[in-house]
Chains A and B, each alone.
Chain A
Amino acid sequence: MRLRDIVKKMFSGISETFKERSAELIKLELRELENAFTLLVISPLIGLPGPSTITSLRLLPYIERELSQSLNVSRRLDDMLAEMLGYLDIT
C-alpha cells in the first residue's frame, strides 16, 4: 500500500514537472510568436518591408498588449540569448 502511494506520488511529481516545463516552453513559444506577429504588423511603420501601411493601421488598435510586450522584450535584447538558454535549461 505504501509502495503504491510512493509510486503514485512519484509519477504525479514527474507529470507535474513535465506540465510545468511544457507550460514554460509553450509560454516562450507564444511570446515569440506574438513578437513576430507584432513585428510583421508594425514593419511598414518602422521602415521594414511588410504588409501595407493601411493593414498596420487597421490592426494596430488591437495589438496594444502585444506591442507593449514586444517593446519590453526589445529592451532586454542584449540578454535574450541568456534568457532563451535559461528557458531551455541549458547552463
Chain B
Amino acid sequence: MRIIITVGKGGVGKTTTAASLGLALRDRGYSVLVVSLDPAHNLGDVLNFKSRSSRMKILDNYEIIEVDVDEAVKKYLDEVSLMIKSTFKHLSVLNIDKYIDILSNAPGVEEHALMSEFKRIIQENDNKEFIIFDMPPTGLSLRIISLPFIHRSWLVELKKLRKAILDRRRMLKNIGEDVGEIPVDESSDPVMRELDNMLKECDFLVKKLTSRDTVCILVLAPETLPLLEAERALRKLTSLGISVKGCVVNKVLRLREPIPELKSKIEEQERCLSEIRRTFKGMTIVEVPFLEQEPRGVDALRRYANYIDSLVESILRS
C-alpha cells in the first residue's frame, strides 16, 4: 500500500488535486481510496456526489472517505474517557464521572483525534494500493503530521526517566530495603507498559510517514503567500524525514492578450513561478492553468488529471 498526502494553503486546490490524482491512478488500474481529513471538507462536492455517508464508492476501485472531525474527536474522547472512568470507577458511585467529559475542550485533542483516524484508516484499508489523504490547510496539517514525532521524543525521555526510577527501586530491594508493593521492574510496571503501548502507536505512524511508500505533494497557487507556506511545509516535512515528491502549481493565468489591470498580477505570478522552480528544484513540478470553470465531477477531474500526468508517472516510478 502506498500513501500520498496533499498539503497546501487553504483554497489552492488540494482536494481537486487529491481527487484527480486518485482518478488518474484508478484509471491506470490501481485500487484507490481518497480520504479528506479537512474539517471543512468538500471531496464529495468536488466529485459531484450527493450521498452524505462517510464512505462513498464513486467508481469501481475508487472510494472516498470524508472524516467527520467532530465525530472523530468525540470517538477518540469516548475511548480515553472510558479508559479513565474504568480506572477511577469510584467516581461513578457519586455520579461525578460525567465531569470527565470536559476533556473534549482540552488543547490539542483535535490533532490527536485526526492522527488517530489517519492511523485507523491506514490499518483498516491495507488492501488498497493507494490511499490519498487530502489534508487540512498547512498549519493544522503540519501539526497533525509532526504529532507522532514530537510525541515519540517525549515518550522516549519519559521512558528513560521511568527506567531510572525502576533501577533505584530495584537497588533498594537488592540491599534488603523494604520497598513495599511498588513495581521494581519493567514487566510489572503499568506505567512502563502504557508508555510502551503509546510508543508502539507512535512508531507505527513514524514508520509509515517516513517510509519510501509515503510521499507528500505540495499544492500551491503562483502567489507569494501560498509559496511561503509551501516553503515552510517543505522545510518541516524534510526535517521530519518525509519525502516530498512534487508540487502542483494551480490556477496559473495564461492570457493570450494581457489585460492591463492584471499586469502586476501576471508579474507576481512569473516571479513566483521562477522562485518555485528554484525552491523545488529536483522535484516534479506541474502547472495547472486557471480553468474557466471549477473542475467538478469525474469527467472534469479526468481533464484536470491530464495536467498532472507527469506527477502521476513520477509517483509510479518512485
**Which residues of A pack against B, CB within 8 Å?**
19, 22-23, 26-27, 29-30, 33-34, 36-37, 40-41, 44, 50-55, 57-63, 65
- Does B155 reach chain A (CB closer than 8 Å)? yes
With contacts A30-B168, A61-B87 taken as known, whether A53 is within 8 angstroms of B161 at the C-beta atoms is: no
A44 to B36, CA, bound (A): 30
Number of residue pairs A-B, CB distance < 8 angstroms:
75
B119 contacts partner chain A, Cβ-Cβ < 8 Å: no
What is the interface residue range for chain B against chain A?
20 to 34
Residues of A within 8 A of B157 (CB): 40
Q: How far is the CA of A22 from the CA of B171 in the complex (A)?
A: 10
Measured between beta carbons, the chain B residues less than 8 angstroms from A59 are 191, 194-195
Contact indicator A29/B168 (Cβ below 8 Å): yes
Interface digits, B224-259 against A, CB 8 Å rule (1 contact, 0 not)? 000000000000000000000000000000000000
Secondary structure of the B contact surface, majority rule: helix
With A33-B168, A55-B198 as contacts: A65 and B84 at CB distance below 8 Å: no
| Measured CA separation A60–B155 after assembly (Å) | 14
Whether B151 sits at the interface, judged by CB under 8 Å, is yes
- Stretch from B5-13, B102-110, B123-131, B271-279 at the A interface: B102-110
Minimal beta-carbon separation of B149 from chain A (angstroms): 12
A41–B177 Cα distance when bound, in Å, is 27
Q: Does B99 contact A (CB under 8 A)?
A: no
Does B172 belong to the interface (CB within 8 Å)? yes
Contact check, B107 vs A53: say whether CB atoms are below 8 A apart: yes
Q: Name which residue of chain B comes closest to A28, CB basis.
A: B168
- Alpha-carbon distance between A63 and B161 when the two chains are bound, in angstroms: 14
Mark out the residues of chain B between 184 and 199 whose CB falls within 8 Å of any chain A CB in the assembled complex.
Answer: 190-191, 194-195, 198
Q: Is B59 an interface residue (CB 8 A)?
A: no
Expressed in whole angstroms, the Cα–Cα distance for A15 and B131 within the complex equals 66
